């Protein structure tokens, strides 16, 4: 925790102007990216667990259209808000601390990351038929995990080949975690 955070939590220096310096900016960005990964993995599992059937006449059962959008947006934004509440508001309160401006910025970044995942994951629902949207919507967060993994590797000066390997590994692990979550959820 930075001195700025400690001052803000203790109430000291409350009148001082808060600036998002390099270290807090990096933390806000890390939290946004982490939320993109977290929401993507949970959304993969959530979408995989939805019962659905596709019939030869083009009819489908399960969540489609607005209902599918509701699942995507409710899961994504709900997770981010719950995470923000639990870790940035409630946990400090239980320790007798007050949330800081940095906590607020982090929470907003987390919600922004979740909105990004929901928005990108909504494209198949808006653009494709119900059957095709059901098939493709769960692939979008999986691709996000891979792309974020690639970008993280590239930002640490890894070669393109190493970054692709990192992205594919992140995608594979993300899908594996989501499938395990789905299987364990189905066992109950």
pLDDT of residue 180: 77
Residue 54: beta bridge partners? Answer: 60
- CA-based angle 174:184:38, to the nearest 5? 30
Coil vs helix vs strand at 188: coil
User: With contact defined as beta carbons under 8 Å apart, do 52 and 87 qualify?
Assistant: no
Q: What is the pLDDT of residues 118-165, one digit of tens each?
A: 999 999 999 988 877 887 888 899 889 999 989 988 988 899 999 899
- E runs forming strands in 15-107: 53-54, 60-61
- For the chain, percent of residues with pLDDT exceeding 90: 36
Largest CA distance in the chain: 68
pLDDT bin (cut points 50, 70, 90) of residue 113 is very high
């Amino acid at each position: 925790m930075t001195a700025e955070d400690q001052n803000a939590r203790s109430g000291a220096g409350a009148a001082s102007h808060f600036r998002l310096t390099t270290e807090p900016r990096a933390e806000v960005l890390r939290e946004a990216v982490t939320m993109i990964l977290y929401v993507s993995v949970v959304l993969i599992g959530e979408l995989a667990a939805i019962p659905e059937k596709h019939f030869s006449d083009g009819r489908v059962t399960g969540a489609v259209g607005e209902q599918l959008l509701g699942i995507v947006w409710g899961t994504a934004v709900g997770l981010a808000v719950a995470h923000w509440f639990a870790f940035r508001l409630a946990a400090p309160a239980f320790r007798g601390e007050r949330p800081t401006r940095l906590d607020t910025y982090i929470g907003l970044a987390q919600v922004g990351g979740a909105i990004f995942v929901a928005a990108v994951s909504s494209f198949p629902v808006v653009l494709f038929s119900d059957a095709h949207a059901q098939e493709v919507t769960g692939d979008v967060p999986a691709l996000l995990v891979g792309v974020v993994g690639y970008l993280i590797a590239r930002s640490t000066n890894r070669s393109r080949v190493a970054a692709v390997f990192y992205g594919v590994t992140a995608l594979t692990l993300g899908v594996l975690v989501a499938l395990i979550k789905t299987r364990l959820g189905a066992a109950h």
